[in-house]
Amino acid sequence: MSDAPTGRRSSRSRFAVRDLIGESIAGLLSRPGRAALTAAGTVLGVAALVATVGLARTAGNQIVTRFDELSATDVTVERAQVNGRVVGSLPWDSERRLTRLNGVRAAGTITEVDRGGALTRSVPINDPAEGDEFDLSVYALSPGAFDAVRAKVAEGKVFDRSHDDLPVAVLGPGAADDLRITRVAQQPAIFIGDQTFVVIGVLDDVDRRSELLTTVMIPEAFARAQYGTPSPGSVQIDTKVGAAELIGRQAPLALAANNPDLVKVSVPGQPKAVKAKVEGDINALFLLLGGVSLLVGALGIANVTLVSVLERVGEIGLRRAVGAARRHIAGQFLVESTLLGFLGGVVGASVGMVVIVAVSLAKDWVPVLDLGIPLLAPLAGAVVGLASGVYPSLRAASIEPVEALRGGV
């Protein structure tokens, strides 16, 4: 067959992908304000989704790290009790035995001293009317115990091995308040009963064993000599992250190899389970909210695209007249709604990330966001747009060109 007009074979109508996308973009740009408003629903939905997922992760992470890191590394060993009676005992060299274990960051004994009811005061009683005496607990600590409870020092320093046999004391902030000791540079003395102690440090805070905040702490060796303390009351261990369970198993053997049952070990619960639960609770709620927003966005796109189809009946008729098949018409509207959804997703993901960062800044959190979310969000927007466009596109494709062209534009 030649190329003469009569010899041309009828071919299938076609619409190149590039042209399809070009026409769709032109269609959107012809009403930019409306396109922006239509996409706003998806922007909100995706932004809500991204922000909620991100904030859930961020907030969850804050809860988890704070609670986790401290509790996951906290192992305590106490003497075993049977029917309320203490039956076991802990060795005085617990600290040395435990610090040898790989996984122990710090360990120390903490023992309440039986001071026979002696009161504590900060000045010798010359005038009974002025003297203040306090019923403060006295604890004997091995030097490693300060590290094991993560004590923070406000003033001076804590005692170490060199102070073992010396009458020195470290005050908890509560005890220091009571005794009106704020500075230690002048080596203030306190009296427990008749025994003088030089205060070398005042604590600011402890992360564990908060009872220490209101006590007077003295070296363990001095307590044994002075008060005849028979055995350490407990051992506090600060483990490396992830080592708590191992140390929990090894500590009884290290401390009481001949009868491990005489000591009682407390190890933290499974941090992963806690973390998963916290995140799960928050995520479920927020995801639901984001999903609802996205659904509203989808309905918005569907609605506006449908209105647009009805408004552009003339254009549809014309395109059919110049050779567009039904599928080309459907394709154009589908691509338009998908593009709107995609753009909504891009902008929404950006807005969502800004929200996460802004909230994190305000709350002094570290923003946490899965890398996949900003990548998935535009895709989710596109899927929403595609799904929203299905019905309007089918409506557009079903429009008869005869009807469409009859109406004046």
Partner 1 sequence: MSDSGAVPPVLDLRGVTRVFGTTTPIEALRRVDLRVGPGEYVSITGPSGSGKSTLLNILGLLDRPTEGTFLLDGIDTLDLSEGRRSALRGERIGFVFQSFHLLAHRSALENVVCALLYRRGDRRDRRRRAAEALDRVGLSHRLDAMPPTLSGGERQRVAIARALVGGPSLLLGDEPTGNLDSVTTAAILELFDELHREGLTLVVITHDADVSARAQRSVRMLDGVLCDTEASAPLAVGS
Residues 36 and 148: their CA atoms lie apart, in Å, by 59
Nearest approach, Cβ of residue 388 and partner 1 (Å): 22
Stretch touching partner 1 by CB under 8 A, among 13-21, 69-77, 114-122, 359-367: 13-21
Kindly write out the interface string for residues 261-300 of this chain, putting x where it contacts partner 1 by CB under 8 A and - elsewhere: ----------------------------------------
Pick the closer one to partner 1 by CB: 5 or 117. 5
How many residues bind partner 1 (CB under 8 A)? The answer is: 38
Pick the closer one to partner 1 by CB: 1 or 273. 1
C-alpha closest to that of 139 among 158, 111, 120: 111
Nearest approach, Cβ of residue 402 and partner 1 (Å): 5
Pick the closer one to partner 1 by CB: 22 or 242. 22
One DSSP character per residue, 21-73 reads HHHHHHHHHTSHHHHHHHHHHHHHHHHHHHHHHHHHHHHHHHHHHHHHHHHTT
User: Half-sphere exposure (CA, 13 Å, Cβ side) for 366?
Assistant: 7
Pick the closer one to partner 1 by CB: 331 or 348. 331
- Taken in order 290, 294, 295, 296, is the CA torsion positive or negative? positive
The alpha carbon of residue 319 and the mean position of all alpha carbons in its chain are separated, in whole angstroms, by 55
Pick the closer one to partner 1 by CB: 29 or 129. 29
The amino acid occupying position 272 is K
Pick the closer one to partner 1 by CB: 56 or 339. 339
- The answer to whether residue 24 forms part of the interface with partner 1 (CB under 8 A) is no
Nearest approach, Cβ of residue 275 and partner 1 (Å): 54
Q: Which of 2, 3, 12, 228 touches partner 1 by CB under 8 A?
A: 12
C-alpha closest to that of 379 among 354, 349, 336: 349
Stretch touching partner 1 by CB under 8 A, among 109-117, 119-127, 229-237, 401-409: 401-409
- The answer to whether residue 317 forms part of the interface with partner 1 (CB under 8 A) is yes
Place of tokens 């992830």: 242
Residues 141 and 340: their CA atoms lie apart, in Å, by 68
- The answer to whether residue 185 forms part of the interface with partner 1 (CB under 8 A) is no
Query: How far, in Å, are 9, 52, 103, 147 from residue 1 at the CA level?
Result: 8, 65, 87, 95
- Tallying the residues shown for the chain, one arrives at 409
Q: Which of 291, 314, 367, 374 touches partner 1 by CB under 8 A?
A: 314
Helix pair angle (32-71, 17-29), 10° resolution: 100
Stretch touching partner 1 by CB under 8 A, among 1-9, 42-50, 234-242, 258-266: 1-9
Q: Is 16 helix (H, G, I), strand (E, B) or coil?
A: coil
Pick the closer one to partner 1 by CB: 228 or 408. 408
Nearest approach, Cβ of residue 21 and partner 1 (Å): 12
- What tokens does 168 get? 């020195």
- The answer to whether residue 259 forms part of the interface with partner 1 (CB under 8 A) is no
Kindly write out the interface string for residues 30-49 of this chain, putting x where it contacts partner 1 by CB under 8 A and - elsewhere: xx------------------
Contacts of partner 1 in 318-337 (CB under 8 A): 318-328
Pick the closer one to partner 1 by CB: 244 or 304. 304
Q: Which of 84, 116, 128, 408 touches partner 1 by CB under 8 A?
A: 408
Stretch touching partner 1 by CB under 8 A, among 27-35, 45-53, 244-252, 299-307: 27-35
- The answer to whether residue 307 forms part of the interface with partner 1 (CB under 8 A) is no
Nearest approach, Cβ of residue 9 and partner 1 (Å): 9
C-alpha closest to that of 168 among 192, 146, 148, 149: 192
Place of tokens 């098949």: 325
- Taken in order 288, 289, 294, 295, is the CA torsion positive or negative? positive
Q: Which residues pair with 219 in a beta bridge?
A: 141
Place of tokens 């790290």: 65
| Contacts with partner 1, residue ranges (CB under 8 A) | 5-8, 10-15, 19, 23, 26, 29-31, 314-315, 317-328, 400-402, 405-409
